[in-house]
Structure 1
Amino acid sequence: MEKLLTSERAVRLERSYNEELQLLIQQGGYVSPIEHLWEDILIGVVLKKPILLKGPSGSGKTKLAQSISAFFNQPMHSVNCSVDLDAESLLGFKTIITKEGQSLIEFIDGPVVQAMKQGHILYIDEINMAKPETLPILHSVLDHRRMLTNPFTSEVIHAHEDFAVVAAINEGYVGTSPMNEALKNRFISFSIPYLAGDQLLDVIKEQVPSANGELINTLMNIHDDLKKQVMNGLLAEEAASVRSLMDAVALAQYMPVRRAILYGIAEKLEDKMEQKLIMELVNTWVK
């Protein structure tokens, strides 16, 4: 790792990881469930490699991107992909302004251009929700060239040294499509699993400090059962979302556990049979 330590950004990797992780927990940030995952992602960022985070909904991909932003003290520009995403959403648009009594055409930089120029982090969420024909415009941004010719202005933009790209993907979800191989090969990929065990317990205690131990244990037992049913293919991955678990813990401070899980977890699923299965599992833990 000595070869990496040549920039101010890389120097941060020399700091105590325990101190950094504790800081992130205190800020409600991401905590890695896999040894070395957090460190390895940071190394990828230092090497100026675009990062692709693959994992189920609620596994903490967005929180991870925010934690990278906090770690390097770099602002983050977000792009939320959908079938409506177009080049203007990425690069910017022209608008008419009035200056000294004259109407002028001005170009407003989009998130990609802003992040490239200012050396910030570009976060592309649900990248496989975008139409495949939209994203090739980013190919030169994501490979060794780290540059872009803006088709709206003809401006040639070379990325700032600290510019970084983090993208997130939910594989196999409705409305998604496989990433183009030319696009996927520009990223280094990391699988992001759900938190579990003591790490999950620590995060719950930090984010919902008023929750008592008995309540937390009950909800974690239910969460473990939900994960098993997800692995067995009987529930959608969203049922084991850590985000949903946190919602249920927060609600359970003020209402019975059954209702908290109904609103925080079960009702988020479309399938009525899956909703019923969740509530049946709850009944095995809540008398």
Structure 2
Amino acid sequence: MNTNYQLPENMVNILEENKNNPDSFVELIRDGGYVPPNMDLLVDAISALSMGKNILLKGPTGAGKTKFAETLSHLFNQPMFSVNCSVDLDAESLLGFKTLTYEEEKQVIEFIPGPVIHAMKHGNFLYIDEVNMAKPETLPLINGVLDYRRTITNPFTNEIVTAEGGFNVIAAINEGYVGTVPLNEALKNRFVVIEVPYIEGEQLKNLIQTNTKLADEATIDLFVKLSSDLINAVSQGKLSEDAASIRALLDACDLAVLIPSKRAIQRSIIDKLDEEREREFIKNLTETLF
């Protein structure tokens, strides 16, 4: 296994000098980056990736898993190739495909690398989103990529591809959704699992201020309170996780700059829900707050 995973020098220094002060990582994250509710999440993810381990980000929809992955890619100065899993995901979607092209007026077959092959050959990050949406028989194709071998035999070219130094894998999972399947143990054991919870309180307020156009502090505070109430309702089983999506909340904050907040919530959060009971619950909550 190639273990040439080097952190940027300033991050190495921070890891060594501030082991008991993980908040120092905040200065490395640009505006719009993911600042987790518990900085241990960031330290643990950085530590795992620097040792060549794959990480699996596990948490509710809209909690910021993709943003977390993008932030890690930025911190390691690594481009990131992405795979969006679905029931239609196949070997070509992962590895690439053959196509006809011309060389000096002669027709030849050319292989176009997919995200897995591309990331391996360039020593970049690979992000596999909603990994449990893929059919169980698809992902074992890359088992050798995910373990100590970091190698795959490309079935389309018979080329043996070994990952360059710097290559690593970040995957994300939403559990319990329609169309998802449990990860088999062989796949799960190839990852270090990091739970990604919702962002709340002051961190959510800062996120709204830096990632939306909403500037009125009183209105921002109301949206932070709305998010807290939605998260509590999810934990009590009154709402599905979709209702507390931070992504949807940020959309509502943006819309609230131009239209009334209650309508912004209606369009961004309420109208996405299928169950009338959940819709009414959030309508009543919105009326109370706004």
* Structure-1-length-normalised TM-score: 0.94
Give 1:121 deviation, angstroms: 0.4
CA contact (8 A) 1:269 1:275 kept: yes
C-alpha displacement of 1:208: 2.5
Q: Which amino acid aligns with 2:175?
A: E
Matching residue within 263, 269, 278 for 2:282? 278
1:21 match? 26
Residue number in structure 1 paired with 2:100: 96
- For 1:10 and 1:82, the matched residues in 2 are separated by 38
Q: CA deviation at 1:201?
A: 1.1
C-alpha change, 1:114 and 1:78, in structure 2 (3 Å) is same
Once the two structures are superposed, the pairs formed by residues 43-54 of structure 1 within 5 Å of their partners are 43-54=47-58
Report deviation, 1:35.
3.1
What TM-score does the superposition give when structure 2 sets the normalisation length?
0.93
Change (3 A) 1:211 1:6: closer
Q: Which residue of 2 aligns with 1:7?
A: 6
Is structure 2 residue 85 aligned with structure 1 residue 81? yes
CA distance in 2, matches of 1:284, 1:87: 51
Match of 2:252 among 248, 251, 254: 248
Q: Does 1:39 align with 2:36?
A: no
What is the CA–CA distance in structure 1 between the aligned matches of 2:197 and 2:108, rounded to whole Å?
50
How many matched pairs?
A: 282
8 Å contact 1:50–1:164 — kept in the other structure?
yes
- Correspondence 1:171-190 to 2 at 5 A: 171-190=175-194
Q: 1:111 aligns with which of 115, 122, 127?
A: 115
Contact preservation (8 Å) 2:252, 2:268: yes
Task: Tell me how far 1:18 sits from its aligned partner.
Answer: 5.1
Q: Match for residue 18 of structure 2?
A: none
Q: Are 1:61 and 2:65 matched, yes or no?
A: yes
* Structure 2 residue 147 is the aligned partner of structure 1 residue 143: yes
For the 8 Å contact 1:128–1:169, the answer to whether it is kept is yes
- Residue 179 of structure 1 deviates from its aligned partner by 0.4
Query: How far apart, CA to CA, are the structure 1 residues paired with 2:4 and 2:172?
Result: 27
Give the aligned residue type for 1:170. Answer: N
Q: Unaligned 5+ residue runs, structure 2? A: 15-20
Q: Secondary structure at the match of 2:170?
A: strand
1:70 equivalent in alignment to 2:74? yes
What is the match of residue 205 of structure 1? 209
Secondary structure of 2:61 counterpart: coil
